[in-house]
Amino acid sequence: MNIHEYQAKQLLAKFGVPVSKGIACTTADEVGKAFTDLGVPLGVVKVQIHAGGRGKAGGVKLVRSADEAKKVAQGLFGKALVTHQTGPEGRVVKTIYVEAGSDIAREMYLAVVMDRSAQAPVIIAAAEGGMDIEELAAHKPAAIARHRVHPVKGVQGFQLRALCKHLGLSGEQAKAGSKLIQSLVTAFMALDCSLAEINPMIITKQGEVKALDAKMSFDDNALFRHKDVVECRDLNEEDPKEIEAKKFDLNYIALTGTSS
């Protein structure tokens, strides 16, 4: 099961991952009011769909007033946003997250994924964020650092040091980066995630380290243990055939293409 960025950020914040303040909205009026309530000079209007690539597709927009926020939201609500992850039909925008804008100095990539063969989480990090990790893996595999998390000992100090070095973090930023990585792994394990991805993780011009985007996927077989995660389920985002199959406890994966 997948959840929205704003929900992932709320969950991650509970584990100590630094995120910006934001408000989830379902109408353009709410978006305008949210900008005012945030009380920041720069806001970001972010469509909430279960797909990445929103920025490039026009689903992430910087705004500087409540009016502008509302207008941008009017242009997005109810429309299908097509990103490289949605397929040609796109995803209809029903929720928009308004977030405080960050002054970005640098974007990085950080994720934790379950290594099925080793039955252990693996931390993946790259100093270049923002772009697709698949693209980076194809063109610059050496730019990606991987560290397996010990199932009993958890993340170890030497791994945090190596990861921060790889990310180009030192001093106070390495401290903050280590804490963020540790918090992400703790959340991953506690919530039975299959993926917890922060792309980008950023350093701001003020020197803060934080999660600017967040994607979390969960092991369906462990959902019964996590009521707070199940509450995040958004059936609008799930394939009706898969929802139907779940009622009968089947793992049905809808594939695109023509059936013969």
Task: Please report, as ranges, the residues that interact with ligand ADP according to CB under 6 A.
Answer: 20, 44, 46, 52-55, 60, 99, 101-102, 104, 107, 130, 199-200, 212-213
- Looking at 30, 97, 109, 237, which residue is catalytic? 109
Is 197 annotated as catalytic? yes
For the chain, the farthest-separated pair of C-alpha atoms sits apart, in whole angstroms, at 60
Indicate whether 199 belongs to the interface with Mg ion (CB under 5 A).
yes
Q: Which does 18 bind (CB under 5 to 8 A by kind): Mg ion, ligand ADP, none?
A: none
Region near Mg ion per CB under 5 A, out of 9-17, 102-110, 133-141, 199-207:
199-207
Region near Mg ion per CB under 5 A, out of 91-99, 192-200, 229-237, 247-255:
192-200
* Residue 215 CB contacts under 8 Å (≥ 6 apart), including other chains: 2, 5, 8, 52, 195, 196, 197, 199
Cα 43 from Cα 133, distance rounded (Å):
26
Ranked by CB distance to ligand ADP, the top (closest) residue is: 55
Is 6 annotated as catalytic? no
Indicate whether 213 belongs to the interface with Mg ion (CB under 5 A).
yes
Burial state string for 116-138 with b = 16 or more CB within 10 A and e = fewer than 16: eeeeebebbbbbbbbeebeebee
- Looking at 30, 99, 197, 237, which residue is catalytic? 197
Cα 114 from Cα 212, distance rounded (Å):
22
Catalytic residues: 109, 197
